[in-house]
Amino acid sequence: MSNIIKPKSTIGIIGGGQLGRMMAFSAKERGYNVGVLDPTPNCPTAQVADWHIEAAYDDAEALAELAERSDVLTYEFENVDAETIERVLNQVSVPQGTELLLITQNRLKEKEFLKNAGIPVATYAKIETEEALAESVKEIGYPSVLKTIRGGYDGKGQVVLKSAADVSKAAELLENGICILEQWVAFEKEVSIMVTRNERGQISTFPVSENIHEQNILLKSIVPARVSQKVTEEAKKIAEQIADQMNLVGVLGIELFVTAQGEIYANELAPRPHNSGHYSIEACSDSQFDMHIRAICGYNLPQVDLLRPAVMVNILGEHLEQALELNETKPVWHVHDYGKAVAKVGRKMGHITILTDDLERTLKEIDQTAIWQS
């Protein structure tokens, strides 16, 4: 049986963004102290934590201090330095370990892991040179997507190849290092599922979320996803399989493509709570953040129930001012503000969750606000 990290202990969070902030809310509710390591003064997590070490994520001394002052460490985004974390493994409990990070930080390793785990993925190839790109495009065909194997989010670090004319444009990405070329999946819907597992091997999945993106940034999540029961069950099975194969501890977000024929392909993994799981704060018996804290602290996991259907809408910098006014005009909508100092176009500043018994009506109501019209 795993050790239980009890309330009044300290949870150290690497990364001070909105995910850390929401983790901290769940931790504080359960009686934990919270410390955060992040280079940004007064970052979203620091605003609600007990203390803040203002330093870079790969600052070995700062991480050693975080470890020294904490009983358990977790991270809120995947671009933290795995090697730096490895140095403190003998100093403090890091239930998520570093293997999960090393896999999800590298798109090639991630695809190889999924393929070996028997999870369907799009055909892909490792690309190191322009010649290799030209050769692989012949085999994989158009449309296809070239992505850097490290970094990149919200559509950054990737180019869609629709014809031979796009190949030279894509070659610029190779200047950043090794890339991966993926066959384009003709999907009808993008969905995701959050899964939690603890060190005892208990697994709990969340409802499947249907995700609508605009300019590669998540705009809306609709729960439950408007997909067949068969797709829902298959997504749950994939999530459980990945969680077990990875020896997951904590929450993992899994993005999936669903074709018109109901086939499912895994797209990406996020080794942490996920934007498309924010609806769970109001709509579920336990939120993804509650479950993450339970798992990393060694507690038993309940099964998660969807209490009511919901739509979650992201508030980006360009929406912030109008969206905050909804506190007055839409009192039953749950408006979250992440407390970020500067609102920039395309930057996630908050989200809204709307509980509903009529998803279609609620989607129309969101459109009628005209806030999210492009």
pLDDT for 158 equals 84
Q: Which residue has the tokens 């190191």?
A: 128
The per-residue DSSP string of 148-196 comes to ESS---TTTTEEEE-SGGGHHHHHGGGGGS-EEEEEPP-EEEEEEEEEE
The per-residue DSSP string of 315-340 comes to EEGGGHHHHHTHHHH-TTSEEEE---
Which range (61-65, 155-159, 224-228, 292-296) has the least confidence?
Answer: 155-159
Mean pLDDT of all residues in the chain?
94
Q: How many percent of the chain have pLDDT more than 90?
A: 82
Residue 2 has pLDDT above 90, yes or no: no
Q: Please compute the mean of the pLDDT values over residues 111-123 and round it to a whole number.
A: 95
Q: Which residue has the tokens 């977790």?
A: 74
Which range (73-82, 104-113, 233-242, 335-344) has the least confidence?
Answer: 73-82
Residue 156 has pLDDT above 70, yes or no: no
Residue 169 has pLDDT above 80, yes or no: no
Please tell us whether the domain made up of 10-94 is placed in CATH 3.40.50.920. Answer: no
Q: Which residue has the tokens 């190779």?
A: 174
Helices in 13-106 by DSSP H: which ranges?
18-29, 60-69, 82-86, 99-104
Q: How many percent of the chain have pLDDT more than 70?
A: 98
Residue 187 has pLDDT above 90, yes or no: yes
Residue 153 has pLDDT above 80, yes or no: no
pTM above 0.75, yes or no: yes
Residues whose CB is less than 8 angstroms from the CB of residue 140 and which lie 6 or more positions away in sequence, other chains included: 123, 124, 125, 181, 182, 183
* Domain segments of the chain as ranges: 10-94, 123-183, 187-368
According to DSSP, the β-strands at 203-205 and 209-214 are unpaired
Tell me the one-letter amino acid at 45: T
Give tens-digit pLDDT for 275-296: 999 999 999 999 999 999 999 9
Q: Which residues pair with 57 in a beta bridge?
A: none
CA distance 89 to 53: 19
Please tell us whether the domain made up of 187-368 is placed in CATH 3.30.470.20. Answer: yes
pLDDT for 1 equals 44
Give tens-digit pLDDT for 219-275: 999 999 999 999 999 999 999 999 999 999 999 999 999 999 999 999 999 999 999
Tell me the one-letter amino acid at 310: A
CA distance 219 to 363: 12
Residue 154 has pLDDT above 70, yes or no: no
Strand residues in the chain grouped as ranges (E): 10-14, 33-37, 51-53, 72-75, 124-127, 144-148, 158-161, 179-183, 187-197, 203-205, 209-214, 217-223, 250-259, 264-270, 310-316, 334-337, 348-355
The crossing angle, in degrees rounded to 10, of helices 288-296 and 18-29 is 70
Which range (115-124, 126-135, 263-272) has the least confidence?
Answer: 126-135
Q: What is the CATH T-level fold of the domain 123-183, as seen in this structure? A: Dna Ligase; domain 1 (3.30.1490)
